[in-house]
Structure 1
Amino acid sequence: MNPTDVHALVGAYALDAVDDLERAAFERHIAECAACRTEVDELRETAARLADGTWSVPPPRLRGEVMAAIGRTRQLPPPDAVPGSGRSGRGRWRRYSVAAAAAVVLAAGTGATVYAIQDQRVRDQSAIASAAELRQQRTQAILSAADLVVRTEPMDGGGRVTVASSAAQGASVVSIRADRAPGAGRAFQMWTIRGTGNPVSPGVLDPGEQSAVRVVDGVPGNDVFAVSLEPAGGSAQPTTVVAEVPLT
């Protein structure tokens, strides 16, 4: 990443609006750049002051007024809640009992179904969280590697591709940030190129996805990392290359 790009991250870093790759590169930079450290401190102080007026404490009397209003409000029973006298009253009471029993049975069945759905959702969310944690650990391992090398190149049409590679980890963290999203039915596709061999695709972004950060294994050792614009689902070979990042 060249010095101009690093300095441009001051505002985004102060507001925590950078991805892991950009954060690692910028923190390495400010360790040696006093001007950027000072600017970050000033921006954070300004943001904190601006946030001071965005909330207020409720007046102390509010709780008392609400509780008093509750105490003054009479709760009326529903119509026909009190069984009437005579045959019609007993029939109505019997209907209420049957309806109540049916409601209990229905509630029990519904409760079991809801529990099963919620239990499955909890398991799904747990699996998603575990996978995300593993990706985060892998990302941090690469970005904290002693041999990390960060390279960045612009994208045709605006944006940039940044590749942070670690030969020791055998992988790279790739950041793709386009100024404009691909058109309908189009997607960005990643490629690694070694010598005169055919490009190999390590993955395709979702259709219409404008920015993404991916951990890509096997990037170190290649000569070029490229991004192309392809039909949704990807192509066998790159057709419209929008960025090339030299790796050597």
Structure 2
Amino acid sequence: MNSADLHTATGAYVLHALAPAEEAEFERHLAACEACAQEVEELAATTARLGLAVAAPVPDRMKEQVLQRIATVRQEPPRVSARGRVRSWTRSLPKLALAACLAAAVTSGALAVWQHRAAEDARSQARQAEQQAADLASVLAAPDAKVSVGELADGARGTVVVSRTQDRAAFIAAGLPELGDGKVYQLWFNDGDAMRPAGLFSGAGAERAVLLDGRIDGATGMGITVEPAGGSPEPTTEPVGLMDFPA
């Protein structure tokens, strides 16, 4: 692999998708590349969370649905005499067994479908995370990448990396404070008279790098605000920081 390939192999390395020789080469590169080491650590944590998602418990309504299906199987009414009760119970056995089998089949089938969907969602999220990591690495390693560093609120600092040839920008933050429940950091492109949404940013504390969502498309800088979970179409609070893109 050449130098560019090494910087984009973080996702494949975390997923153990590299050939032995490539894996050894990447590990040598990893020992000397702080950015890739950080990216591998974050991707590994994401992969672990996705793995736990696949092993999630059975939905709460599963028991209720099974009991509803069992209740639809009509049973023989009890007889008055002991002999009659024995005969009634004996005749009910096949229906009870059928109900139990149907319930087991419904439960197993529903659980299998649910697990399959959960696994597909996890794989899709893993592929998206890997692609985002590759795009981020491509911007950070771009030959024309330019860097701008600035101070954010509460003593945090921000770094912007811009690649004009790729028309993309990355943001690296360090020291951002934790937010309360229902709040998230939101990134913005500064288009002069308007702020354009550029993705959500939940990382706080340690250094964290993200790729701004969308093309630079003439923006002169970026900002970061605190918004309600899910983000806002336009800023609703004073910016935590505003930074100009490097020329």
5 Å matches for 1:114-133?
Answer: 114-133=111-130
1:150 and 1:204 map into 2 onto residues whose CA distance is: 20
**1:81-105 per-position Cα deviation (integer Å, ceiling 9, x unaligned):** xxxxxx8999988877765554333
Structure 1 stretches lacking a partner, 5+ long: 1-20, 27-86
Structure 2 stretches lacking a partner, 5+ long: 1-32, 39-82
Which residue identity is paired with 1:228?
Answer: T
**1:198-226 per-position Cα deviation (integer Å, ceiling 9, x unaligned):** 132233536xx353643223337543322
1:183 and 1:111 map into 2 onto residues whose CA distance is: 40
Aligned to 2:42: none
Aligned to 1:135: 132
- Aligned CA distance change for structure 1 residues 113 and 183 (closer, same or farther; 3 Å): closer
* 1:145 Cα deviation from its structure 2 partner: 0.9
> Is the CA contact 2:140–2:170 (under 8 Å) kept in the aligned structure 1?
yes
Which residue identity is paired with 2:140?
Answer: L
1:159 and 1:97 map into 2 onto residues whose CA distance is: 71
Alignment equivalent of 2:211, drawn from 197, 200, 215: 215
* 1:117 Cα deviation from its structure 2 partner: 0.9
Q: SS of the counterpart of 2:116?
A: helix
Aligned to 1:107: 104
Alignment equivalent of 1:23, drawn from 14, 18, 35: 35
Q: SS of the counterpart of 1:240?
A: coil
Alignment equivalent of 1:227, drawn from 224, 228, 231: 224
Q: SS of the counterpart of 1:132?
A: helix
Instruction: Check if 1:201 corresponds to 2:217.
Output: no
Larger radius of gyration: 1
Aligned to 1:247: 245
Aligned to 1:145: 142
Q: SS of the counterpart of 2:154?
A: coil
Instruction: Check if 1:165 corresponds to 2:162.
Output: yes
> Is the CA contact 2:197–2:233 (under 8 Å) kept in the aligned structure 1?
no
Instruction: Check if 1:191 corresponds to 2:198.
Output: no
When the two chains are superposed, the root-mean-square deviation of aligned CA atoms in Å is: 3.7
Q: Percent identity?
A: 24
2:37 and 2:163 map into 1 onto residues whose CA distance is: 13
2:98 and 2:235 map into 1 onto residues whose CA distance is: 66
Q: SS of the counterpart of 1:241?
A: coil
For normalisation by structure 2, the TM-score amounts to 0.52
Which residue identity is paired with 1:116?
Answer: V
* 1:160 Cα deviation from its structure 2 partner: 1.8
* 1:173 Cα deviation from its structure 2 partner: 1.4
Which residue identity is paired with 1:198?
Answer: D
Instruction: Check if 1:181 corresponds to 2:178.
Output: yes
1:122 and 1:231 map into 2 onto residues whose CA distance is: 29
Aligned residues: 166
**1:131-159 per-position Cα deviation (integer Å, ceiling 9, x unaligned):** 11221221121122111122221211121
> Is the CA contact 1:175–1:214 (under 8 Å) kept in the aligned structure 2?
yes
> Is the CA contact 1:188–1:230 (under 8 Å) kept in the aligned structure 2?
yes
* 1:107 Cα deviation from its structure 2 partner: 1.2
> Is the CA contact 2:227–2:237 (under 8 Å) kept in the aligned structure 1?
yes
2:198 and 2:170 map into 1 onto residues whose CA distance is: 13
